[in-house]
Amino acid sequence: MPKQPVSSTMADIARACGVSIQTVSAVVNDRAGISDETRRRVRAVMQELDYQPNQHARTLRGYRNPMIGVIIPSITNPFFPELVRGVEDVARRSGHGLFLCNDDYEEQKALDYLGFIRANHASGLIAAPGIMESSPEIERQILALARRNVPIVLFGEHRQGMPVTSIMVDARAAVLATAQHLLDLGHRRIGIIAPPEGMIVSRERISDFQTAFATLGRPLDPALIVPGGFDMECGSRGAEQLMAMDDAPTAIIAANDLAAMGAIAWLQGNGRRVPDDVSVVGYDDIPFARVFQPSITTVSQPLYDMGAAAMTALIEQLAAGPSEPASDRNVWLAATLMARQSTGPCRQQPAETGQRPGKKRKTARIEEMPETPREETRDLEDNPP
C-alpha cells in the first residue's frame, strides 16, 4: 500500500526552515518562546507548503478529536434537517465537525455507527428521540460512552439519574393554546390520530392534549382517539377511521404534520373540505407545514433551536470536564401554536347542548399562554440545480 503523503508534515516545515520540529509545533500552537523572526519564517513556509496539522496524530497524542457523532433515523425525514443544521451551526463556531449517521431505527445500523463513533474518538454524541428506547444493547453502549466521559445529549428523554443531558420541549402551553383555539372555533367533537405506541414522546403528546382539554372543561372523548403513526399513510387511515364514525369529529389532531397532511389528503379526496368541513391540526411545524395547502395549523417545535441547544450543551459539558454530574443539565424550550389555514370555524350544529360557536365564554388560564402565534419568517431557500 504505497501511501502518498496527503499533506506536508511538521518535519517538512522544519527541514525547509532549518529549525527543529518542535519549534514548528510551538509556532503552530502559538506557544511562547519563539523569536518573531523565526515565527515569521516558519509561518511563511507553512503557507507555501500548504501545511495542515494531522488531526490523527493530535488525537493520538491525547487531544480531543473535534468531531461530534449525530445519530438520527434519517435525514430524508423532514423533521431532522433543521435540527441537524442547528447542531452544525453551533458546532462550526467551536471548530467541531459532524459525523452524520442515519440509523433508520435499525438496531444494527445504530450499533455500527456507535462503534464508528467510538473508534474515531468523537468528542460527543447527539442522538435523536427514542434511541434509548429502541434496544437495550444500544442503551448499554450509550451509557458506556457516557461513563467514559463522552458527553451525550438526547432529545426528549429525561429519566432521572442518567449521565446524559436532555433537550426538552415543553409543549403544554402551546397544546393548551391549541385546545383553546379549537374550542374557540366551536369544535366539540375532536378526534386524535395517535403517534406510534411505545415511545415516551408519544404518550406525552397525547396526555398533554388530554390535560389541556380537561383543563378547559371539555375532556376528550377516548373513543375518538384512533391509533396512528408519524407518516402520511397513518394520517390517511386515521382520518378514514374517524370519519366513518356515527358522530364523526369536526376537528382532527394528528400525530405530526405528515400525518396531518395524509389526513387532509384523505379528507379532500373524499368530499370534505379543510377547514370548512373538518379542521386539522398537526405537530412539529416542519418547513412544508407552512407551504402545504391549506397551510397547517400546528404545534411548532423549535427544531433549529433544539439542535443548537443540544450542541451548546455538549460544548459546555466538554469544557466543564468529567467532574460535573452531567445529569440535570437538561434544557427546556417551549413549543408554540402556529394557527394557519387548516383550522376554521365549526360549521356543524353541535350535537350536544351547550354554548354555541363563537359565543364568548370564560377562558381558562388563556392569559398564561403565548397567545400570539408568531409566524415564522425563516425561509426555505436556494434549491440548487
Strands 297-300 and 336-338: antiparallel
Q: What is the smallest separation between the CB atom of 326 and DNA, expressed in angstroms?
A: 23
Tell me whether residue 216 or residue 335 sits nearer to a copy of itself (CB atom): 335
Q: What is the smallest separation between the CB atom of 48 and DNA, expressed in angstroms?
A: 15
Q: How far, in Å, are 28, 262, 361, 380 from residue 355 at the CA level?
A: 75, 32, 8, 42
Tell me whether residue 156 or residue 249 sits nearer to a copy of itself (CB atom): 156
Q: DSSP label at 372? A: S
Q: Which does 244 bind (CB under 5 to 8 A by kind): a copy of itself, DNA, none?
A: none
Which residue's entry shows cell 467541531? 96
Decide: is 19 part of the binding site for DNA (CB under 7 A): yes
Q: Which does 26 bind (CB under 5 to 8 A by kind): a copy of itself, DNA, none?
A: DNA
Using CB under 7 A, pick the residue from 16, 26, 185, 260 that binds DNA.
26
Using CB under 7 A, pick the residue from 40, 44, 48, 57 that binds DNA.
57
What cell numbers appear for 54 in the block? 494531522
Q: What is the smallest separation between the CB atom of 186 and a copy of itself, expressed in angstroms?
A: 26
Decide: is 20 part of the binding site for DNA (CB under 7 A): yes
Q: What is the smallest separation between the CB atom of 59 and a copy of itself, expressed in angstroms?
A: 4
Q: Which does 354 bind (CB under 5 to 8 A by kind): a copy of itself, DNA, none?
A: none
Q: What is the smallest separation between the CB atom of 308 and a copy of itself, expressed in angstroms?
A: 13
Using CB under 7 A, pick the residue from 54, 120, 295, 348 that binds DNA.
54
Q: What is the C-alpha separation between 228 and 329, in angstroms, rounded?
A: 33
Q: What is the C-alpha separation between 154 and 164, in angstroms, rounded?
A: 7
Decide: is 224 part of the binding site for DNA (CB under 7 A): no
Give me the phi and psi of 204, to 5 degrees please. Answer: -60, -40
Q: Rounding to the nearest 10 degrees, give the CA dihedral for residues 67, 309, 208, 218.
A: -150
Tell me whether residue 367 or residue 379 sits nearer to a copy of itself (CB atom): 379
Decide: is 150 part of the binding site for DNA (CB under 7 A): no
At 285 the three-state DSSP class reads coil
Rg (CA), the chain: 27
Which residue's entry shows cell 377547514? 275
Angle between the N-to-C axes of helices 80-93 and 303-320, in degrees from 0 to 180, rounded to the nearest 10: 40
Q: What is the smallest separation between the CB atom of 306 and a copy of itself, expressed in angstroms?
A: 11
Decide: is 29 part of the binding site for DNA (CB under 7 A): yes
Tell me whether residue 29 or residue 108 sits nearer to DNA (CB atom): 29
| Cβ contact 367:176 at 8 Å | no
Q: Which does 256 bind (CB under 5 to 8 A by kind): DNA, a copy of itself, none?
A: a copy of itself
Sheet of 190-193, strand order? 225-226, 190-193, 251-253, 279-284, 297-300, 336-338
Angle between the N-to-C axes of helices 10-17 and 21-28, in degrees from 0 to 180, rounded to the nearest 10: 110
Q: What is the smallest separation between the CB atom of 45 and a copy of itself, expressed in angstroms?
A: 17
Binding site for DNA (CB under 7 A): 5, 9-11, 18-23, 25-26, 28-29, 31, 33-35, 37-38, 53-54, 57-58, 60-63
